[in-house]
């Protein structure tokens, strides 16, 4: 079973659509967990009823995702940002990657927005990830529970916790499966932010 963990804070405009997109996975028997870091808007109201579990955790994406992992029942964890959508065949793709011996991995990313250079930035992000073996949260990292526990979870960093986890996972679980199926990061992505995020894999 997959446990999809979605960290949130003031995500009312996005969380409903995010969780609705995960409804087919829930129908297949996978679980969805929302971990809120102190939202002051209607995030929790939108999340309840659309997720299997909605919990609170100390603010910070790393601590929230660790709390979600601790509460999860699945043997494979998927960490998903509220503005990112998994590919429709995510569960099948993950199962196939694990069947080939991978212990963790990520999807290629598509950056959806108005800036014309976003496809170029996405292509560079995905290529760099393949070369370095480093993944970002925009690529929907998945990992077996055993590998996640062996890596010690996300380190308590305010930023780039996904890059730090990737580095840990490379040490304990080898290189990631870099899947061609695409996660989609939605339109609040700007070109400047996309370039900043794509540069993280090289650090």
Rounded (10°) angle between helices 191-199 and 118-132 = 10
Name the β-bridge partners of 178: 106
Q: Which two tokens stand for residue 17?
A: 């659509």
Most confident of 123-127, 142-146, 196-200: 142-146
Whole-number pLDDT of residue 202: 44
Rounded (10°) angle between helices 61-71 and 161-173 = 50
| Dist CA 135 CA 176 (whole Å) | 8
Domains of the chain: 2-106+135-177 (3.90.550.10)
pLDDT digits (tens, 9 = 90+) for 24-46: 999 999 999 999 999 999 999 99
Name the β-bridge partners of 143: 77, 104
Q: State the pLDDT confidence band at 114, using cuts at 50, 70 and 90.
A: low
Q: State the pLDDT confidence band at 188, using cuts at 50, 70 and 90.
A: low
What's the average model confidence in pLDDT over 62-89? 97
Q: Is the pLDDT of residue 56 over 70?
A: yes
Whole-number pLDDT of residue 182: 94
Whole-number pLDDT of residue 120: 85
Exposure b/e, 22-55, CB count within 10 A at least 16 = b: beebbeeebbbbbbbbebeeebbebbeebbbbbe
Q: Which two tokens stand for residue 168?
A: 């840990």
Whole-number pLDDT of residue 201: 45
Concatenate the DSSP letters of all residues of the chain into one string.
-EEEEEEESS-HHHHHHHHHHTHHHHHTT-EEEEEES--SSSHHHHHBTTBSEEEE--SSHHHHHHHHHHH---SEEEE--TTEE--TTHHHHHHHHHHTT-SEEEEEEEE-SS-TTHHHHHHHHHHHHHHH----GGG--EEEHHHHHHHTSS-S-SS-HHHHHHHHHHHHH-SPEEEEEEEEE-TT--HHHHHHHHHGGG-
Q: Is the pLDDT of residue 165 over 70?
A: yes
């Amino acid at each position: 079973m997959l446990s999809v963990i979605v960290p949130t804070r003031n995500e009312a405009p996005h969380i409903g659509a995010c969780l609705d997109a995960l409804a087919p996975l829930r129908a297949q028997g996978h679980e969805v967990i929302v971990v809120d870091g102190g939202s002051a808007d209607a995030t929790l109201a939108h999340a309840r009823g659309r997720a299997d579990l909605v919990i609170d955790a100390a603010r910070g994406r790393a601590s929230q995702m660790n709390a979600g992992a601790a509460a999860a029942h699945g043997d494979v964890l998927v960490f998903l940002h509220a503005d990112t959508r998994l590919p429709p065949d995510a569960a099948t793709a993950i199962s196939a990657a694990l069947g080939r011996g991978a212990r963790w991995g990520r999807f290629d990313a598509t950056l959806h927005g108005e800036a014309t250079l976003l496809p170029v930035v996405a292509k560079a992000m995905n290529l760099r990830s393949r070369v370095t073996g480093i993944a970002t949260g925009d690529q929907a990292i998945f990992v077996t529970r055993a590998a996640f526990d062996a890596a010690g979870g996300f380190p308590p960093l305010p930023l780039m916790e996904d890059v730090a986890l990737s580095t840990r996972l490379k040490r304990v679980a080898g290189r990631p499966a870099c899947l061609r199926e695409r996660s989609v990061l939605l339109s609040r992505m700007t070109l400047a932010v996309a370039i900043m995020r794509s540069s993280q894999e090289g650090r």
